[in-house]
Amino acid sequence: MSFRPFQFLKRMLPSGLYWRSLMIIVLPMVMLQAFVTYVFMERHWQMVTEALSRSAVADIAMLLSEYEQDPGEAAANRIAAQASEFLEMSVAFLPDEKLPETNTGYEGLLDRSLADEIRLRIAKPFWIDGERYDDYVDIRIAYDGGVMRALPLRSHVYAANSHIFIVWMVAASIVLVIVALLFLRNQIRPIERLAEAAEDFGMGRDVENFKPQGASEVRRAAIAFMQMRSRIRAQIEQRTAMLAGVSHDLRTPLTRFKLQLAMLKDGPEIEELRNDVREMERMLDDYLDFVRGDPSEISQMTDLGELLKEIQFDSQRKGHTVTLELHGALELPLRRNAFKRCLTNIIDNAGKYAGEVWVTAIRDEGDIDIIVDDNGAGIPDEQLEEVFRPFYRLDEARNLDEGGTGLGLAIARDIARGHGGDIQLARSPMGGLRAVIHVPV
């Protein structure tokens, strides 16, 4: 596999909208800050410091040259007085003194620019200490026969409080990020709510008082979702009503049929006809049962374990052997009656077409699996999907004729899907059929 930088980047990026938008805001800001800080430090700060050093060194150069024209104690005192009065700088001329031996190399911005200026303007041996005093910088310059010592104010040679600018910038951007955080949260909440509502609807759950909120695009999506939801509901209701109507209306001619058959003389053909009519009646009854299943049933918190025990009890009363096993927390919102019918259809099938039934319910991360195993004949692999078709029955089942119509699995799957889940059939380790009913929690 080749290395794909964009795929890699995609995986590294946060997937949630919140973190993504935060990144979109914070990243450019940090970049801007880094850039501005760099430019500021490199250019502005340096330029200001250089300008200040230049003028301080010019002052010192002037004082020194004045002294050198007329060396002597009187001149030294006069110059020191002038420097302290007009330049706020203490100056002393120390004859017979030498420069200190230590030399600090002049690394920092201040030392460096001072040293450069002294080399340029005075061109005499010198020594600088910018560290020793908090408020002053110690500058010493050797002249013929002595050392001049000058202590200019630090703030006169160095753009000292420039770091305040950076502190302000960082503080301002922290405030900005916090404001963005709060606003973003409010912008994203309506999207989260819409996603939750859509998920709930997909799982057949009630979406309580959902209202379109937030930015206009989100609101539009929410309105579209609500319209889609009511269209789907109307469609389901209409389909159900139509099926119920058809099934119901068919019963009238069928009853007439039955009456007419009853009046005919007995004979083998008549008996066959009666059987057919009876089967049609049963199909219609099943159908009506199915569509009568309340479509407006509201989903409510249900203990699936309890529901399964109920079904086990009912099933055992019908003479089936059902073993039940429950694992984990099995509470979830369900349309109870509908879901009971779904499970009953599957478990009854197993009881009907096999001798023994094992039911296991397992809570997994975000869903629950109900596994129904039996030790019967099972279903051939190529028909595992076919049997979900309405009225589809295997030949063995027809021969056995336990009074089924082939609707059970179709109904069960319809209900499972209505809860956002599904049903899968497979071969069971117990020898027969395995049905797995899966529902999201």
Ligand X SMILES: Nc1ncnc2c1ncn2[C@@H]1O[C@H](COP(=O)(O)OP(=O)(O)O)[C@@H](O)[C@H]1O
Residue 374 contact partner, candidates Mg ion, ligand X, none, CB within 5 to 8 A by sort of partner: ligand X
Q: What string marks each residue from 355 to 394 as x (binds Mg ion by CB under 5 A) or -?
A: ----------------------------------------
Smallest separation (angstroms) from ligand X to the CB of 372:
8
DSSP string, 82-97: HIIIII-EEEEEEET-
* Residue 321 in contact with ligand X, rule: CB under 6 A: no
Q: What string marks each residue from 367 to 396 as x (binds ligand X by CB under 6 A) or -?
A: -------x-xxxx-------x-----xx--
Smallest separation (angstroms) from Mg ion to the CB of 265:
36
Smaller CB separation from ligand X, 197 or 354: 354
CA nearest to 354, candidates 409, 431, 423: 431
In this structure, what are the phi and psi dihedrals at residue 424, rounded to the nearest 5 degrees? -125, 140
Smaller CB separation from ligand X, 320 or 393: 393
In this structure, what are the phi and psi dihedrals at residue 107, rounded to the nearest 5 degrees? -95, -45
Contact 439, 416 (CB under 8 A): yes
- Which helix (H) or strand (E) segment holds residue 331: the answer is strand 331-334
- With CB under 5 A as the rule, give the number of residues binding Mg ion: 3
* Residue 423 in contact with ligand X, rule: CB under 6 A: no
User: Can you tell me the distance from the alpha carbon of 308 to that of 326, in angstroms, rounded to the nearest whole number?
Assistant: 9
Which of residues 113, 349, 375, 428 is near Mg ion by CB under 5 A? 349
417: tokens are 């899907």
Contact 310, 273 (CB under 8 A): no
Other Cβ atoms less than 10 A from the Cβ of 362: the count is 14
By CB under 6 A, which span of 71-79, 171-179, 228-236, 344-352 interacts with ligand X?
344-352
User: Can you tell me the distance from the alpha carbon of 18 to that of 31, in angstroms, rounded to the nearest whole number?
Assistant: 20
Output DSSP code: residue 86.
I
Smallest separation (angstroms) from ligand X to the CB of 348:
8
* Residue 406 in contact with Mg ion, rule: CB under 5 A: no
Smallest separation (angstroms) from ligand X to the CB of 340:
15
By CB under 6 A, which span of 87-95, 111-119, 120-128, 403-411 interacts with ligand X?
403-411
Q: Helix, strand, coil proportions of the chain in percent (round to 5)? A: 60, 15, 25
Which of residues 408, 420, 421, 432 is near Mg ion by CB under 5 A? 408
Contacts of residue 86, Cβ cutoff 8 Å, sequence gap at least 6: none
Binding region for Mg ion (CB under 5 A) = 349, 404, 408
Query: Where do contacts with ligand X occur on this chain (CB under 6 A)?
Result: 345, 349-350, 353-354, 374, 376-379, 387, 393-394, 397, 404-410, 432-433
